[in-house]
Amino acid sequence: MQIDILYFAWVRERIGLPRERVETEAATVADLVAELASREERYALAFADLAALRVALDQELSDFAAPLAGVREIAFFPPMTGG
Amino acid sequence: MHLLVQEDRFDIGRETEAFIAGLRHAGAVVTFTGLVRDNGGQLAAMEIEHYPGMTERAIGAIMDEAKARWALEDALVIHRYGRLGPQEQIMMVATAAPHRADAFAAAEFLMDYLKSRAPFWKKEIGADGAEWVAAKASDENALTRW
């Protein structure tokens, strides 16, 4: 399946792009993260500490165990600092 | 319910007056304005990044929740993104209710949730370089009181 991946804040800076479209068969967010981390060092660095990251599936906060079936857009970012 | 996510500055006075002009029954309006702290003169600018689309959805959901919990007649959230100078306004919240207790509580609730559930990220640009603002545990803990 094709999925759009978005990166924000220092995750975006570490990976070096704001978004990309990937072809993946990953079943869960964690599977996709493992797949990306094995691709290149910059991904491995960005995903080194999952406790420091948050994930949103189709613009709703989710978690790393969540399934990816039917998801079109996934975003990775650090904890939010609004207000 | 009014939500504006914008790069431009806004006029607190004008926004507050327009908000009040639209009310019919409220007896109390609370407004809060967040500013860019200058960190003792060390801050040159603050850059705010956000997630277009999710930002509006997340804030909309927080506003719906506030309306469900308190007797609000109306609420307003304005949040900026982009590059801001020291002491510039980052955001404002306004709540209107028949009585002040609901207006104060809902404004605090909106602020607590905006801090850690709306997809914004702040980066402080100083003389010695730039640094992403880390989320505080106290901000996350603040949600437990609701």
Give me the domains of chain A, ranges plus CATH numbers: 2-77 (3.10.20.30)
CB contacts, 8 Å: A61 with chain B? 58, 117
Residue B140, pLDDT above cutoff 90: no
Residue of A nearest to B136 (CA): A81
Cβ contacts (< 8 Å) between B132 and chain A: which residues? 9-10, 78, 81
**How far apart (Å, rounded) are the C-alpha atoms in residues B32 and B75?**
12
Q: Identify whether the C-beta of residue B74 lies closer than 8 Å to the C-beta of residue B2.
A: yes
Tell whether A59 is within 8 A of chain B (Cβ): yes
| Alpha-carbon gap, residue A27 to A67, rounded angstroms | 6
Within 8 A of A81 by CB-CB distance, chain B residues are: 115-116, 120-122, 132-135
Could you tell me the two tokens for A55? 């994930």
Edge-to-edge order in the sheet of strand A2-7 = A19-23, A2-7, A73-77, A54-57, A60-62
Please indicate whether, in this complex, the C-beta atoms of A83 and B117 are within 8 angstroms of each other: no
Whether residue B125 lies within 8 A of chain A, CB to CB, comes out as: no
**pLDDT of B79-120, one tens digit each?**
999 999 999 999 999 999 999 999 999 999 999 999 999 999
What is the percent of chain B where pLDDT is above 70?
Answer: 100
Domains and CATH numbers, chain B: 2-145 (3.90.1170.40)
The pLDDT tens digits along chain A (83 residues) read 999 999 999 999 999 999 999 999 999 999 999 999 999 999 999 999 999 999 999 999 999 999 999 999 999 999 999 98
Calculate the CA A13 to chain-centre distance: 13
pLDDT value, residue B27: 97
Cα–Cα dist A33/A24, whole Å: 11
In the stretch 15-54 of chain A, residues with CB closer than 8 A to chain B read none
Contact A76, A11 (CB under 8 A): yes
Residue in B54, B91, B132 nearest the CB of A78? B132
B39 pLDDT higher than 90: no
Predicted pLDDT at B71: 96
